[in-house]
A and B are shown apart, each in its own frame.
Chain A
Amino acid sequence: MNVTLFITCYNDTLFPATGKAVVAVLERLGHTVDFPQAQTCCGQMHYNTGYQNDARHMMMHFLKVFRDAEIVCVPSASCVAMMREHFPKMAAAMPDAAVGRDVTAMLPRVYEFCELLVDKLRSVDTGATFPHTVTLHSTCHSLRGTKIGERPLQLLRAVRGLSYVELPQADQCCGFGGTFSIKNADVSAALLSDKVRAILDTQAEVCTAVDNSCLMHIGGALSRQRAGVRCLHLAEILASTSGEPA
């Protein structure tokens, strides 16, 4: 199948390795990947911080760039949630009814990375090898915004050599919350400290998730504490092989 990658602005800038991993997994499974260079951002940061007008422009740009894509793959649950929850509302508030039709036509073609693998491509086993102890943080947007649910776990379980340890209270928010982490830094840090404690208690070597935003926050604290635990996007684990380990 031909998959068009929406890498998302922050993965593009801060986590290119995740994008490369997505490409590696999809190509290994025999699909072709396409990356429109005109793409930018879904508008989530602006929308969630109160800058809805700016977000609207980003939505329009996204719709234009991905208009002809058959399948759009997004390695970020929160960006997918942004599109599903807010694009229809933003479109409905616009005078041009064509925007609403564009959104309705676009959304069924948008897949979060795990959804794409499990539901559309039916490839739970991606042929990965990752001989490490891994725990999974279930991000809020993978649980509620997109209802990705157990899919990340299904994918992890098929990875050779991986030993999975459950994260206690995995569904507790890590406290990132986008600009919340700056505006309410103390509360954000308090939530983070609970999350970090839970992760360290598992003795896992790696903490994974389907949102690099949460991992940036969690990983930032683990790094500050010199905890020696790595944070890796799920795609990077699924891309890992014995020849090219993550």
Chain B
Amino acid sequence: MSVRVGKAAEAPTFAQAARGMLGNAQLRHNVRHATDVIRARRAHAVGETADWQQLRDSARAIKDHVLRHLDTYLEQFETACKAAGGKVHWARDADEANTAIVDIIRSHGGTEVIKVKTMTSDETGLNPALEAAGITPIETDLADLIIQLGADKPSHIVVPALHRNKAEIRRLFMEKMQLPELGERAEDLAGAARRYLRERFLRVPVGLSGANFAIAESGSLCVVESEGNGRMCLSLPKVLVSLVGIEKIIPTFGDLEVFLQLLGRSATGERMNPYNSIWSGVTAGDGPQEFHVVLLDNGRTGVLTEPETRPTLACIRCGACLNICPVYRQTGGHAYGSIYAGPIGAILTPQLQSMKHSQSLPFASTLCGACYEVCPVKIDIPEILLHLRNKVVKSGGAPLAERLAMRFAARAFKNGGRLESAQKLVRIAQKPYVHSGSIERLPGMLANWTQFRDLAAVPAESFRQWWAARQNKEKK
């Protein structure tokens, strides 16, 4: 079994990747602008919802319940979906999912597939697998299309092309769609994409989607979107395949009431997503006449086993934690080396790989706590980051210099006397580096500090020494 999250296994460390991103002024400007706009919209939409905290509590309670009884609900979903005329495939990992999907498309002699709203297919590396099998994937979500045409990578889980601005997109469309003329307004760009995609919607007989929610009681899937391209993909092709992570299950149709209120507001600051498609199996004479669901594990059951990490799977991929994250705001999504960027990516990606890869991600956070505050399902991301950091350290993944420094500090913190001795030692050790009370250059790992900031020298007298001297004086 090979668990995979895109190409994250081969990704450079976060610090290395981030460095490249920080040098890209255009990208940083685009990311700041876009996240500022979405954040303001979200804040407004949340602010007008009187029962926001209760909605968050309800959503979390539903997710916790499902995750404790996931086996039962998955089987209920399978039974209901089959009864409605759907076919259900179980995939333990990325390769099993990709093989199942390729086989379905091949069985219809398909050489093209139209795709919409499936981040999970990025996780499994489906597009390269399709291309290897001679099938051309066509992304139809506007942002995904921009990514595909630019041979680029998504940088945000809701707004994949957030790092691109209008001018860049216009140039890309003119080149790839071979348009000698194209206006500069958003409507002009949308119009060009519409003309490009319409023809493909009508031509390609197989569609592929993800799902925001899978409803156990009715075997239905739900996809929410803003453009209507998803609706086309879900209704026009003869055959529809949906790739769904097993954590997407909710028990009943009624539960959507909670999640649809939270998702639109958290993701884009809309009271409701403009297009909400919900379907169950097949309906004779209406929509796709063949429907497959591929239920994907790919490391999720591993996340499920520990109570500390389990809440990771409650995520509804709204992207609010990315938009609010100070680190994401600086680097954008590519630094995270996976389709899942930002705070949720920092906890999800390494876990999906059984903590074997992407071990730098849990450290890619200042622990400021903003993500937890906005998360519509109340995932305490900082807490999970800390749990994962502990795992990395316990498995020997921390650098030697850090381990030694931590050991030195731990010994010093055993009692007051030891701390005082350690303070004296540091005072001696700093001597060669202090110039007029300030340190501007330090060796080794500490150079990472002095590269950007001065450090005031450790003063000659610690507080505890001052206090002891004061007490002595009083006694006399």
Contact = CB atoms under 8 A, between A and B. Distances in A.
Nearest to A172: B326
A241 interface: no
Contacts of A217: 453
Interface residues of A, number: 64
B10 interface: no
Contact of B327 (A39, A187, A223): A187
B462 to A, nearest CB: 5
Interface in B4-20: 14-15, 18-19
Interface in A169-223: 172-173, 175-192, 216-217, 219-221, 223
Contact of B366 (A15, A50, A176): A176
A140 B369 contact: yes
Contact of B414 (A45, A61, A186): A61
Interface residues of chain A: helix, strand, loop or mixed (majority): helix
A28 interface: no
Given A37-B468, A173-B326, A52 B370 contact: no
Nearest to B407: A54
B2 to A, nearest CB: 27
Nearest to A81: B369
B14 A20 contact: no
Interface string B445-476: 11011011111101101111011100000000
Nearest to B461: A16
A164 interface: no
Range of interface residues on chain B?
A: 35 or more
Interface of A: 7, 9, 11-17, 19-20, 35-41, 43, 45-52, 54, 57-58, 61, 86, 140-141, 143-145, 172-173, 175-192, 216-217, 219-221, 223-224
B363 interface: yes
Contacts of A219: 456
Interface of B: 14-15, 18-19, 22, 326-327, 330-331, 360, 363-370, 372-373, 386, 389-394, 398, 402, 406, 409-410, 412-416, 418-419, 423, 426, 438, 440, 445-446, 448-449, 451-456, 458-459, 461-464, 466-468
A220 B453 contact: yes
Contact of A185 (B15, B330, B456): B15
Nearest to B423: A13
Given A173-B370, A187-B22, A192 B453 contact: yes
B186 to A, nearest CB: 27
Contacts of A220: 449, 452-456
